[in-house]
């Protein structure tokens, strides 16, 4: 079983020290890296990179942002992924998600957070660059995951596909909810793992029109809520 990581970055000029450190970490983990640069769409980037992986169906593919830092020991990180994806029915795994995707299709919404419906944790940076831990809940099974980091086996991805839905207008938004909800609806079990990940972006995509348009399109095409 081999591991591959697809990292999507907007342009070659955008490759930062954070991205280079991520690449170095993944190399230390003996993970094959596919860097998608200058893609017009995250769906296209992931699709084209995945087509280059002609390996065992049992292999694991990571899809991740280019601005993350993984602080787990490499040997523990790799073993965690392998252990979590050994079960035939496991879909996607990652650091954060929810057991209940409500009618607004916003996985991190506050009411669900207060009710203990979300799972996982991610360290973020405030505007001054100071780290703070965003704790959603203990690890466990979920219906959807956040796209900062996703991993699944090759055979699962081949069955589910990575294409952009025709009803999505935006090229960069809501891919994570689309991919992971599709896995859930196909009968796979998505899981949140105990991972030490720092996201060097605050992830404020809700200010983008394309995020709202894709969310509204997803809502119109999906019977919500999705509940574990």
pLDDT at 154: 96
pLDDT (average), residues 42-46: 94
In the chain, what are the domain boundaries? Answer: 3-227
Mean pLDDT of the chain: 93
The count of other CB atoms within 10 Å of the CB of residue 71 is: 11
Residue tagged 């790799």 (tokens):
78
- Mean pLDDT check: name the lowest of 12-16, 124-128, 177-181: 12-16
Query: CB of 93 within 8 A of CB of 152?
Result: yes
**Which residues are registered as beta bridge partners of 37?**
9
- Mean pLDDT check: name the lowest of 14-28, 103-117, 168-182, 200-214: 200-214
Residue tagged 């809501």 (tokens):
174
pLDDT (average), residues 44-55: 90
pLDDT at 26: 98
Question: Top-level CATH class of 3-227?
Answer: alpha beta
Burial class (CB in 10 A: 0-12, 13-18, 19+), 35: middle
């Amino acid at each position: 079983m081999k591991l591959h990581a697809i990292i999507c970055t907007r342009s070659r000029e955008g490759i930062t020290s954070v991205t280079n450190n991520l690449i170095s970490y993944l190399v230390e983990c003996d993970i094959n890296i596919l860097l998608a640069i200058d893609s017009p769409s995250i769906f296209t980037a992931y699709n084209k990179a995945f087509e280059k992986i002609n390996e065992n169906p049992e292999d694991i593919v990571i899809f991740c942002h280019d601005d993350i830092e993984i602080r787990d020991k490499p040997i523990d990180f790799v073993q965690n992924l392998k252990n979590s994806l050994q079960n035939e029915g496991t879909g996607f795994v990652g650091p954060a998600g929810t057991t209940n995707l409500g009618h607004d299709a916003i996985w991190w919404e506050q009411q669900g957070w207060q009710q203990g419906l979300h799972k996982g944790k991610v360290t973020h940076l405030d505007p001054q660059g100071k780290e703070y831990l965003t704790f959603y809940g203990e690890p466990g099974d979920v219906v959807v995951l956040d796209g900062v980091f996703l991993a699944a086996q090759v055979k699962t991805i081949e069955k589910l596909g990575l294409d952009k839905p025709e009803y999505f207008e935006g090229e960069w938004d809501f891919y994570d909810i689309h991919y992971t909800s599709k896995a859930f609806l196909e009968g796979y079990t998505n899981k949140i793992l105990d991972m030490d990940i720092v996201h060097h972006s605050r992830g404020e995509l809700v200010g983008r029109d394309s995020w709202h348009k894709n969310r509204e399109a997803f809502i119109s095409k999906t019977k919500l809520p999705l509940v574990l």
